[in-house]
Structure 1
Amino acid sequence: MLMYHSVGDPADDPYGITVARDRLDRQLAWLRRRGLTGVDVGTLLRAGAQGRAARLVGLTFDDGYADFLHEALPVLRRHAFTATVFVLPGRCGGANGWDPLGPRKRLLTEDEIRAVAHAGMEIGSHGLYHRRLPGLPAAVLRRETLHSRELIREITGTAPDSFCYPYGEVGPEAIDAVRAAGYTYGFAISPGPLLGPYALPRTHISHADRGLRLWAKRLRHGFPLPGAAR
């Protein structure tokens, strides 16, 4: 499963999370040339449960940046790919105020989230406000998980199945809260011993990732090549 964030100008990006539109296009074309199809994580995991995921790669976009609608979505459509967009319903139409460095980037509004969903993308929760979940009081943890799910259901008409832990940070209490809120899957970065349906790993993709780097990440992190078993 591949993890993206923002699609736009990567020049002013101290975090290395912005990929230019043309670079995204080349990265997705790289997958297609190898017989792989990018899909949302719900599709990927359902196919995996049926033993049919060998040619699929999960695509995720964290934080719900507004540039997804205008920059990433047209590229995904060109390749006939889908993706999961993890949004922050407590910050709709706001900005990435959790990042102390770099430019402020606008987040999707409620109408834009609906437009992304209507375009065939899966909407998942990234919590309410992009807060680190480990160590939060139980009541706050419940709001970040359960209330964010309820708000997304109000926006899109569908309760999300997937939750993405802000900063990729996960702990036992966070997993319990995500499960209790009704999600089916949880996504981290490197979950370590907590690996499981509620702590699934992903591979970060940056603007610098081209052929050789993508190949190295495939070998290191194991996203599938044609015929590979999952």
Structure 2
Amino acid sequence: NLTDAAPVLAQYGIPAVVFVVTGRMGGMLDHDLDPATSTLLTWDQARELQAMGVEIGGHTKTHRRLSQLSIPEQETEIVECARQLRWELGAELPLFAYPFGSAFDYDKSSKELAKRAGFSCAYSNRYGGIRSGDDPWELRRIWIDASDSMESFKSKVDGTLDMLAVFESRAGLYARKLLNRFTRG
């Protein structure tokens, strides 16, 4: 994010957001295996991104699956994340993303706690563009990464693949793999 994507995005004036796990800054998530490729941003790196115009959003304190936690545990994950973001970055808290992010990974309590912590909306991991009238506490996302061909990228950006939202992420990932296979020549 810091060395590859952020400079290019800044050069072209493209807005971006990075969601951080505030209790693991500079460390790793429990499910990551390779420190060479899985080390998370430090607070200093988050500040560098912020200075480049990248928005820093919250992704809980330790990246636990919220729906499997008690309400007090969820509150700790979300409220502590918000507190650390304010303390370290001095920023307002517009954006939040649920860890793992499927419809089964957060619940009504998660949504309410994110709202009370001061976030203005929350992103799920469900595929699709945002439409007027969508619940601001269950916004969808469109994933773009290095496996996308230029044709796949264009189809995502122009909305051609929005229909995949009804199939959720597994079908979307499969369709992307097929599209990439046929368009890479």
Smaller-chain TM-score bracket: 0.7 to 0.9
| Match in the other structure for 2:149 | 210
For structure 1, the 5+ residue unaligned runs are: 1-67, 223-230
| Match in the other structure for 1:171 | 107
Q: Aligned pair in 2 of structure 1 residues 88, 109: CA closer, same or farther (>3 Å)?
A: same
- Deviations 1:57-99 (Å, cap 9, x if unpaired)? xxxxxxxxxxx11121111122222211101110011023323
| Match in the other structure for 1:3 | none
Q: CA RMSD in A?
A: 2.3
Q: 1:136: Cα distance to partner?
A: 0.7
- Are residues 1:117 and 2:50 paired? yes
Contact kept, 8 Å, 1:88 with 1:128, in 2: the verdict is yes
| Match in the other structure for 2:92 | 159
Seq. identity, %: 29
Q: Which runs of 4+ in 1 moved over 3 A?
A: 99-104
| Match in the other structure for 1:91 | 24
Q: 1:205: Cα distance to partner?
A: 1.8
SS where residue 179 of structure 1 aligns?
Answer: helix
For structure 2, the 5+ residue unaligned runs are: 129-133, 164-185
Q: Aligned pair in 2 of structure 1 residues 191, 81: CA closer, same or farther (>3 Å)?
A: closer
Contact kept, 8 Å, 2:15 with 2:53, in 1: the verdict is yes
| Match in the other structure for 1:29 | none
The number of equivalent residue pairs is 153
Residues 189-204 of structure 1 aligned to structure 2 (within 5 Å): 189-190=125-126, 196-204=135-143
TM-score computed with the length of structure 1 as normaliser:
0.60
SS where residue 138 of structure 2 aligns?
Answer: coil
| Match in the other structure for 2:180 | none
TM-score computed with the length of structure 2 as normaliser:
0.74
- Deviations 1:128-155 (Å, cap 9, x if unpaired)? 1111111211111011111100101111
Q: 1:106: Cα distance to partner?
A: 1.1
Q: Distance in 2 between matches of 1:97 and 1:115?
A: 25
| Match in the other structure for 2:172 | none
Q: 1:103: Cα distance to partner?
A: 6.2
| Match in the other structure for 1:80 | 13
Q: Distance in 2 between matches of 1:73 and 1:81?
A: 9
